[in-house]
Amino acid sequence: MPGNCEVTKVEPEGLSTVIYIKNIQAFYENDRLIKELASALKKKVTIRVDPTGLMQEDKARKIIEDLIPKEAEIKSITFVPEMCEVRIEAIKPGLVIGKGGSILKEVMLQTSWSPVTLRAPTMPSRTLDGLRKSSALEAGERKKFLVSIGKRICQSAPPGDWIRVMALGGFREIGRSCLLVQTPHSKVLIDCGVNPATSDPTKAYPYLNMAGFSLKDIDAVVISHGHMDHMGFLPYLFAYGYDGPVYCTPPTRDFTVLLQQDYLNLCNKVFNVDAPYKKKDIQKQMQHMITVAYEEVVDITPEIKMTLYNAGHILGSASVHLHIGEGAHNLVYSADIKFGFTRLFEPANTRFPRLETLFIESTYGGRNDISVNRFESEKRLMRIIRETTDKRGKVLIPVFAVGRSQELMLVIEEFARRDPNFNIPVYIDGMVLEASAIHTAYPEYLRDQLQRRILSDRSPFESPILKVAKGTSKESIVSPDEPAIILAPSGMLTGGPSYEYLKLLADDAKNTLIFCGYQSALSLGSKIQRGMKEIPMLGDDGKMKSLKINMRVETAEGFSGHSDRAQLMAYLKNLRPSPERVFTMHGDWNKTDEFSRSIGSMLRKETRALADLEALRLK
């Protein structure tokens, strides 16, 4: 650093090296300095003005408001003294940044506060509001945590002579995904989920007690995406001693908090069991989450570098690449992948710098798991909806709040745009609205066409055909003799709004129930899908009664966020480089085994379907 910058402090802060200086003007005189620093340190570098030089907040706010054009639609300006930051939330953050970062540069030069831009969702989001406010209020504790993590990562580690993995959940089954990656100096968990389709603790939670060490000894946790079977057990770690970092993409952080809080209600109201953690554990977890963008290489322990790549499954979903040691081994954990067309995302990434061992999902890895053509799927879905609504019936589609609901909203919205006579209201209930709002805050994770629509104020998630069910009783939605489409979680009818609508709609043959997503063998949805016509249920009087399923039941395939058998094979063929060994996971017992044999025949490489509690040495 040039001497006239007047460096006052240098400290690691999470994944970044923060340099505090007194003379910001001198720093900007060399426009290559930040790149040279990052190259030399091989770390992300953040420049901040020493706290003693910060402008008074009210004066700084006035300057910021004058510098940023009104068209940016600023929603909030929050000063965070602990970080020397001013966080500017706006609908159009590009206008806050300015051409080549010119406005941000002026903000820092004139106020000395380090500006951080945040994209505001185009729809209200309690989750994002809560997370962003909490982040500012807890900044002091957050900074202490980040500095401690930064110092730990910066330590040198002697080269390890072995690498070991252990399957702690989600192997030869779907649910409670958890993989331990261990070296002599590092213990990293990838995913930590629950099986939301059961309340039996022997089947619902990962085998953390079999890892052979205390939860306090875990160095890092990586979460691939925001579905309960991959992150639902994470707060338990914090309830019982873990105090380290959780790495994920920004959307995954938001969905994780949203769905975990709902899970607490599900345990209490549906399963009638105590949840394995409390709300305070979710709040503690929030303060330990460190977000990482796609393809950003970061150190998560002194000997492990991590990179997240697009998995094409849901917003922010990632395949996890671990570079262990100085090139000793490279591992990819695919997580849930979609290597095919969706309206929301680009297909899963297949290019990695190096790859020796691959863990790949097998949800639809069976020989007969070939999905129907997507174009035909959409036509069939809309035909079933038309047949039902023409009879003035109602269509109930149980959806996962994150992912499938938004995909189906796009399909129906496009059909409505093309057919001016289609004016059937689409009610969205439960967390679907909140999840859709989060999508609008991260358009950069979406397909280009959808991204452009959101950025140009034409978001399909705000279409006039979409009606919010919140504030309206379910009885008033289903009672009129008017057609309607209802998208409601949970996707497997294990509880939540979809189950309540089912009770109101099941008896009428004019109505239709359409399954568009995976149904676990243990779930109510799977039982109805297989032909169950009577469901025992607890009435309001506390007595058991029977619910008759007289409504039409259909399955519209082709909308899954998982790859079918053909797409999984295409993914493997397109992988560069090709892995030396492949282990199948996240699939029913027979499918993981069958898929493993097929991979071995195709790639002529070592393949195997691991089972829970198996451990093996990779090096």
Q: Radius of gyration of the chain from Cα atoms?
A: 25
Give me the residues paired with residue 180 across strands: 166, 189
| 420 close to 228: Cβ distance less than 8 angstroms | no
* Token duo for residue 79: 């000063």
Which of 269, 275, 182 lies closest to 228, judged by CA? 275
467-474 long-range Cβ contacts below 8 angstroms, 24+ apart: 467/425, 467/426, 467/427, 467/428, 468/427, 468/428, 468/433, 469/427, 469/428, 469/429, 469/497, 470/429, 470/433, 472/427, 474/429, 474/500, 474/501, 474/504
* Token duo for residue 419: 């057919």
Question: According to the CATH classification, is domain 3-142 in 3.30.300.20?
Answer: yes
Q: Which amino acid is at 401?
A: A
74-80 vs 85-90, strand pairing mode: antiparallel
CA distances from 536 to 200, 270, 543, 544, 551 (A): 19, 14, 10, 7, 16
| 357 close to 163: Cβ distance less than 8 angstroms | no
The CATH class given to the 156-368+562-617 domain equals alpha beta
* Token duo for residue 548: 């008759």
Backbone region of residue 495 per phi and psi (left: phi > 0; alpha: psi in -120 to 50; beta: other values) = left
Which of 500, 486, 501 lies closest to 428, judged by CA? 486
Over the chain (619 residues), the average pLDDT of each successive run of 10 is 95 95 94 91 93 97 97 96 97 95 96 97 93 95 96 87 96 96 96 86 92 95 96 96 97 96 81 86 96 96 96 97 92 97 96 97 94 91 95 94 91 92 90 92 96 92 88 83 91 86 93 88 87 83 84 92 96 97 96 96 96 96
Tell me the C-alpha distance between 167 and 190, whole Å: 10
Between CA 104 and CA 111, with CA 110 as vertex, the angle to 5 degrees is 85
pLDDT confidence of residue 403:
85
The CATH class given to the 381-555 domain equals alpha beta
| 158 close to 303: Cβ distance less than 8 angstroms | no
* Token duo for residue 428: 């969205």
pLDDT confidence of residue 478:
87
Tell me the C-alpha distance between 5 and 265, whole Å: 53
pLDDT confidence of residue 125:
92
Which of 408, 383, 413, 387 lies closest to 397, judged by CA? 408
Topology alike, domains 156-368+562-617 and 381-555 = no
pLDDT confidence of residue 490:
84
Q: Which amino acid is at 311?
A: A
pLDDT confidence of residue 266:
77
Tell me the C-alpha distance between 231 and 238, whole Å: 13
Any idea where the domains of the chain sit in the sequence? 3-142, 156-368+562-617, 381-555
Q: Rounded to two decimals, what is the model's pTM?
A: 0.93
* Token duo for residue 245: 């970092």
Query: Residue 570 burial (CB < 10 Å; 0-12/13-18/19+)?
Result: middle
pLDDT confidence of residue 62:
97
Which of 315, 323, 316, 348 lies closest to 334, judged by CA? 348
The CB density around residue 67, as the number of other CB atoms within 10 Å, is: 17
